[in-house]
Amino acid sequence: MIEDVFFAWEGADGPEGPWRHLLVLEVRGTEALSAPYSFEIELVRHESAPDVGVEDLVGARAALRIATKVTPAYRLIHGVIASAEELGEVDRGTRYRVELAPPFVRATMMKKSLIYLDKTLKEIIESTLTRASWGAGLVEKSGEAREPAEDDGDFERFTPARALFTWRCLDMSRLADRRARPYCVQYNESDLAFVSRLLEEEGIAYHVEHEKGECVLVLSDFDGGRQRVSGTMGPGILGHVVENVRVGSRLRPRSASLDDHDWRKPNLSLLAQSPAGVTDFQTHEHPGRYGDARELGEKLAEKREQRLDTERTWASADARNRMLGAGSIFSLEHPNGRWSGDYLVTSVRYTLRQRGSFSTKGEEDPYTVHLSALRCGAPGEKGESRFRPERVTPRPRIQGSQTAVVTAEPSAAEAEINVGGPEDIGCVRVRFHWDIDAGRHEIEATSCWVRVSQLFAGASHGAIWNPRVGEEVIMDFLDGDPDRPIVTGRVYNGVNKPAESPVARPTWSAIKSYVSPRNDNYNMIAFEDLQGKEQIVVHAARNLDETVLATHNTGVGGDQNYGVGGNQNISVDKNRAIVVHGDETHNIDGTQKVWIGADQSIFVNGSRGVLVNSGNDLLKVPGGSHKSQAGVQHKFHSPGFSVTSLLTQFTQQIFSVKSGGASITVSDGMISLDSGGGAKLVLSGGTAYVIADKVFIDGAGGNIQCAGTIKLLASEVSALAGTIKLNG
């Protein structure tokens, strides 16, 4: 058997060395740009070689070595054995079938949910590539595309290749711009699916280059980042045969446009087109997912348009050159000159059969390749292929709602309220239940600032109720996109329970919020709808302010009670009327002062009493008169009564002043002074009556003058004087 293909894996043992422990019978493989390769290899263990268990093969690093028949002499394909199957015994040996997958095959199997906050795309991708899921984690390698290091054909030993990655991109602007993906979520995706999705959306392809001791994952967006196979290919060229060439074209749109809506700047136009201004036969996508930076969207639109170019033309061929692989570029010389030029290999399907093995027939070609390719430049010209990978990796979609917990900033872990984000919007941060990256939570925020759905929202009006730290909220995602969360509701749970048990009080409803920092005080509006106990409760933790620009009507069918612990001020700019159909009682423990800017009228249909228990009662009328009028009688009860006035005037039908038994009575045409002890003076009409047991006139002098007659009637008249004159 003439051997062209060899296989070795770590753990191989045998007297003939690691490359001959298991002999290759047949290889079938597929390779494509931006896809993991897979090689199905049939092997046979010679009966003289050590026995091999399939469980020993799975997970082991391995390699294929293919004799090229040209320079370099061998081509290597590194990988990991992803599966192994024992096919049974054959003549003097045991057959196996194994699958050789890329070294990062584990990255296709391990799903994760992670959040990247304020990271560049380059940082996100590199963080993912260096995880343990990519074998031991890929190591970044720098350097431009070059011819691979030649394999020296050492069959005495096998050294597993180091897994590396490298960037070969012409345009790194979006990759290095934090605005491109300020909030990026890997949601229930394997690491490879996550990276593939990001690269596809950015128009960056990947392929794998196999060198001596190295297996390099190459991330590239231009042909300069891909290896060129030396020599000219074409029909009948020994060692460089490429034949059965076919080329074709497909109908595709001529331009691509993207648009987006940024809720931070809702009036901002974000339409991006490529080529600019070409709108006929255009494909349009929304949302473009580029925030408020239209220049970033224009780069994405350009990548979409270039993908249309990638799909528009195609080429395929059969080849026997053993160096051609996905991501390699070759030069074709064809009898049909229009087909000559440079081509980028986009996918390959291999069939390799070991010469002389019992699995091959004599007439079969031991090495056949069918490839798909993309022309680099226009016919007859050298140029770029402008290859952009198809966006085939599904973007995760969250169907339905989820819940999350509102969180504080790591620097203020004890905060009860964490509201921020764009000014005047009111956003919160949340931690999703699937986000278990506790180490990240200790050093950075758990999420982006997330908008909160309110009861209604408009320009400077609407409702606002900020969720607080620790509360569970209902999350939705715009277009189902994990990168675009929004809070749509709030729910209670086993820790955060309602203020009252809904089971015990199903008719009780309330809006209640504790003060912050939290204590036992709260604001609340509560409703009790139980028939017979209907009630609305308003509880203000501190102040309660009401503003009514027009009319405020309050109707109370029963009692109304006010309790004011401090001061109460009532200001009425116009009129105020109070109607009390029953009694009204005012109790004032301190001083009452009443200021009236104009007149005051008091109407009392019944009796009126004013009681001043202590102190004085003072009534002052500095600028006018004081009038007191009683329909029957005006009484004063006082130990003393004093009137100080320039003029005191009483206008009454009868005016009477009494003190003990004495009295003064004034009526129309009469004045009566009665001592109450028998002495009385009455002035009635033109007559004066003095009634007394004794009458004394005592003075320095006096005259009794009368125009008429004076009569003295008494049992005795005494006159005492120094001189008494009668008739002059």
The predicted structure's pLDDT at residue 615: 82
Q: Is the pLDDT of residue 252 over 80?
A: yes
Write the DSSP assignment of 348-391 as a string of letters. Answer: EEEEEE-TT-TTS-TTS-SEEEEEEEEESSSTTS----------
Given a cut of 80, is residue 503 above it in pLDDT?
yes
The pLDDT of residue 363 is above 60: no
Q: Region 9-23: what's the mean pLDDT?
A: 88
Q: What is the pLDDT of residues 393-406, one digit of tens each?
A: 999 999 999 999 99
Of 3-7, 354-358, 440-444, 485-489, the least confident = 354-358
Q: What percent of the chain is modeled with pLDDT above 90?
A: 63
Q: Do 42 and 78 have their domain in common?
A: yes
Mean per-residue pLDDT, 55-78: 94
- Total domain count, the chain: 5
User: Which of 311, 289, 312 lies closest to 300 in space, CA to CA?
Assistant: 289
Q: Is 126 helix (H, G, I), strand (E, B) or coil?
A: helix
Establish if 75 belongs to a structural domain: yes
pLDDT of res. 699: 67
Domain final position from 498, 522, 539: 539
Look at residue 566 and tell me if it is in a domain: no
Query: 326 and 257, same structural domain?
Result: yes
pLDDT averaged over the chain? Answer: 90
DSSP state of 71: S
Residue at 338 is within a domain: yes
Give the span between the Cα atoms of 513 and 509, in whole angstroms: 13
Which CATH number goes with the domain that contains 166? 3.55.50.10
Q: For the segment 288-300, what is each residue's pLDDT rounded down to a tens digit?
A: 999 889 999 999 9
Q: What is the pLDDT of residues 156-168, one digit of tens each?
A: 899 999 999 999 9
Residue 89 and residue 43 share a domain: yes
Give the separation between CA 436 and CA 317, rounded to whole angstroms.
Answer: 49
* Cα–Cα dist 5/69, whole Å: 12
Considering the domain architecture, whether residues 454 and 530 belong to the same structural domain is answered as no
Query: Mean pLDDT lowest for which of 41-45, 176-180, 387-391, 678-682?
Result: 678-682
Digit-coded pLDDT (tens) for 626-667: 787 777 777 777 777 777 777 777 776 777 888 888 999 888
Residue 386 pLDDT class (50, 70, 90 cuts): very high
257/299 same-domain check: yes
* 425 and 320 assigned to the same domain: no
Residue 478 in any domain: the answer is yes
Decide if pLDDT at 287 tops 80. Answer: yes
Give 76's pLDDT tier (boundaries 50, 70, 90). very high
Would you call the peptide bond into 253 cis, given omega within 30 degrees of 0 as the criterion? no
Q: Are residues 288 and 183 in the same domain?
A: no
CA 4 vs. chain centroid, Å, equals 61
Q: Do residues 355 and 420 share a domain? A: no
How buried is residue 713: exposed, middle or buried, by Cβ count under 10 Å (0-12/13-18/19+)?
A: exposed
Same domain flag for 408 and 357: no
- Residue 145's pLDDT band (boundaries 50, 70, 90)? low
Task: Among 513-522, 544-553, 660-669, 696-705, name the one with the lowest average pLDDT.
Answer: 696-705
Compute how many other C-beta atoms are within 10 angstroms of the C-beta atom of residue 282: 16
Question: Does residue 300 lie within any of the structural domains?
Answer: yes
DSSP H/E element including 22:
strand 22-32
User: What Rg do the C-alpha atoms of the chain give, in angstroms?
Assistant: 55
Average pLDDT over residues 89-99: 89
Work out the angle at residue 259's Cα, subtended by the Cα atoms of residues 458 and 118, and round it to the nearest 5 degrees. 80
pLDDT digits (tens, 9 = 90+) for 183-222: 999 999 999 999 999 999 999 999 999 999 999 999 999 9
Of 375, 391, 420, which residue constitutes the final position of a domain? 375
User: Which structure tokens are listed for 544?
Assistant: 């309660």
**Is 129 or 707 the better-scoring residue by pLDDT?**
129
Query: Does residue 259 share a domain with residue 371?
Result: yes
Q: What's the pLDDT at 362?
A: 52
CATH code of the domain containing 84 = 2.30.110.50
Residue 358 lies in a domain: yes
Contact 37/29 with Cβ under 8 angstroms?
Answer: yes
CATH of residue 422: 2.40.50.230
* Residue 689 resides in a domain: no
pLDDT band at 148 (very low <50, low <70, confident <90, very high): low
Q: Do 282 and 370 fall into the same domain?
A: yes
The proportion of the chain whose per-residue pLDDT surpasses 70, expressed as a percent, equals 94
AA identity, residue 109: M
- Is residue 350 over pLDDT 80? yes
Higher pLDDT, 99 or 156: 99
Backbone angles phi, psi at 496, to 5 degrees: -90, 100
> What confidence tens digit (pLDDT) does each residue in 585-609 have?
888 888 888 888 888 888 888 888 8
Residue 447 within any structural domain of the chain: yes
User: What is the reported pLDDT for 240?
Assistant: 94
Query: pLDDT tier at 249 (50, 70, 90 boundaries)?
Result: very high
Q: Render pLDDT for 664-709 as a digit per residue (tens, 0 to 9).
A: 988 888 889 988 888 898 888 878 888 887 877 776 766 777 676 7
Domain co-membership, 262 together with 345: yes
Domain encompassing residue 57: 5-101
